[in-house]
């Protein structure tokens, strides 16, 4: 059995037998790589890379068939493990990025809601006192017209009129983008 550098010239052995080595080992190495990666194209690339490494190291490798086979399998395994590690890192990056994006969206939504509500409350505070109370009870607290009328001791028609008056004032005073968000919220 030969050591790392044999008495025979391994460069000549690998040169002379390159095609035979490829035909002998390619299919089983590809299957081995596929078992690790579950992607045919990537598995084939890993095997080709192992053969290129064999070619690059032909001067220092033993010409013993088992040593060559061991080199190829070990190299394919290492390539596949590196690919798997890279994929895990990439997947973790994208998962983290999605979480950050979701958190940023939530923060942005909360900021927009706070800004809209702040502007809404500022404009509602400028409404006449009766209109302001009816608007707050009806739209911000969600009470029905009949409940507001009973609570304040006024007619349902007065409640409707004051709510319409309040909306008309809001439409004039609110920024159009805030008004659109407000209309969206009031419809739910």
Determine how many CB atoms are found less than 10 A away from the CB of residue 172: 9
Domains of the chain: 10-93 (no CATH), 125-186 (1.10.10)
The number of angstroms, rounded, from the C-alpha of 158 to the middle of its chain's C-alpha atoms is 53
Local confidence band at 28 (pLDDT 50, 70, 90 cut-offs): very high
What pLDDT is recorded for position 2? 42
What pLDDT is recorded for position 37? 93
Indicate yes or no: pTM above 0.85. Answer: no
For residue 9, pLDDT beyond 70: no
Greater model confidence, 184 or 148: 148
The number of angstroms, rounded, from the C-alpha of 42 to the middle of its chain's C-alpha atoms is 23
For residue 34, pLDDT beyond 60: yes
**pLDDT 10s digits, 162-175:** 988 988 888 888 77
Local confidence band at 3 (pLDDT 50, 70, 90 cut-offs): very low
For residue 115, pLDDT beyond 70: yes
What pLDDT is recorded for position 104? 67
Q: Measuring CA to CA, how many Å separate 121 from each of 13, 114, 132, 159, 182? A: 86, 10, 10, 19, 11
Local confidence band at 1 (pLDDT 50, 70, 90 cut-offs): very low
Average pLDDT over residues 107-117: 74
Contacts of 22 (CB under 8 A, 6+ apart): 51
**pLDDT 10s digits, 52-75:** 998 888 787 777 888 889 999 999
What pLDDT is recorded for position 33? 94
């Amino acid at each position: 059995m030969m050591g790392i550098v044999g008495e025979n010239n391994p460069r000549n052995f690998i040169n002379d037998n390159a095609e035979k080595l490829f035909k002998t080992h390619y299919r089983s190495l590809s299957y081995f790589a596929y078992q690790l990666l579950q992607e045919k194209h990537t598995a084939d690339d890993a095997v080709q890379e192992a053969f290129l490494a064999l070619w690059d190291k032909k001067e220092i490798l033993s010409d013993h068939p088992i040593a060559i086979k061991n080199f190829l399998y070990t190299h394919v395994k290492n390539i596949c493990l590196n690919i798997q590690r890279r994929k895990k890192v990439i997947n973790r990056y994208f998962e983290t990025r999605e979480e950050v994006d979701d958190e940023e969206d939530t923060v942005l939504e909360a900021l927009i809601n706070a800004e809209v509500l702040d502007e809404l409350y500022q404009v509602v505070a400028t409404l006449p006192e009766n209109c302001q109370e009816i608007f707050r009870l009806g739209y911000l607290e969600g009470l029905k017209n009949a409940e507001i009328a009973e609570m304040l001791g006024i007619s349902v028609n007065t409640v409707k009129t004051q709510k319409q008056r309040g909306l008309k004032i809001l439409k004039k005073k609110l920024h159009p983008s805030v008004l659109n968000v407000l209309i969206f919220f009031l419809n739910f």
